Structure 1
Amino acid sequence: MIRVYALSGSHDVGKTTIFTRLKRLLRSYRFAFVGEFADCLLKQMDIRDAWKETIQRDAEAYDYFETALDFVTVASYLVYRDKVIVADRSIVDNCAYRLCVGSPLNTMSLLSFYDVSLYTFFVRSKREDAEVTNAVAEVLKRFSLPYEEVQVIEGKPDETAESVARRILEIEKQGA
């Protein structure tokens, strides 16, 4: 079984900041850290700041984009299958964005196909995009995925990250 702890939620709520701090807090041979792919791909496509006006409006292109994200995400899980993975985003986020545009959520089956145990930290903040937040919640509930909400402590990312790190270690200890 591949164990993954992922930070999910709306854009601009602080997931990457928390993730960066988790890398410091959970330094160990047991953990592998997988960053966000969407932002990198959008930058490579030179549409980072205009993705809603460009790729998201082209259903076929957007489906390929999200599918690419799913497959690169799964590839990262397979590469690190011998470690506990901490990820900045997951297939949950990809599916949430699909849900926002009415696309099918057909890649969730990749989790069971590759025996991925995904635990999600659903990151919430005053800065969240309500549509995306609701879509993430819908995906988590629809697929009965284990998760817990994490309210960002505004201006204190270290405290938020410490809380998540403690929780990951607690869950790992319970499963050992």
Structure 2
Amino acid sequence: MTDSTFPGRYHKGNLRLAVILSGIVAGMIGMAYAAVPLYALFCQVTGYDGTTQVADANPKGTIAREMTVGFDSNVDAGLAWTVKPSRPVTGKIGEVTTVNYVATNLSDKSVTGTAIFNVVPETAGIYFNKIECFCFSEQTLKPGETVEMPVTFFIDPDLAKNEELDTIRQITLSYTFYASPEES
């Protein structure tokens, strides 16, 4: 082995190692950016963390078992709204139901807000289907305006096939309202 070839080996090895490590770093950065949308997709597909499903209609019909759906609302301090949830409703599983949340803008200017939601118990999220919902888009309320915000939903009859949910008689749909990022 000569001294002239020895540094070349180190150079090639270092270059290869630098390329590999750079690729790993780039991959980790890419995964960090992809983590949020991938997690959202995972939750939507599995119903994990109380994430509900979106549907056009209920193709499976109804079953005799009844379920009570309760409603809850929370408003972040940065949003000058009050939001009153609907009263609980009880009906057959699979029945399409529409309820209204009532929101009032307490400020003297137009305010745009958005809502995030979840279902409790979380394991029921995959069976809770929304056909229409105010939560699918931002809502803008004029100063002092009060609006009804409808949610049309059904509970998938396949819920009855899940033995873990045999004792469940109530599901709660909860919304937390925030000022839209442009408002903050």
TM-score range relative to shorter protein: under 0.3
More helix by share: 1
TM-score scaled by length of structure 1? 0.23
Larger Rg: 2
Query: Greater relative contact order: 1 or 2 (C-alpha under 8 angstroms, separation 6 or more)?
Result: 1
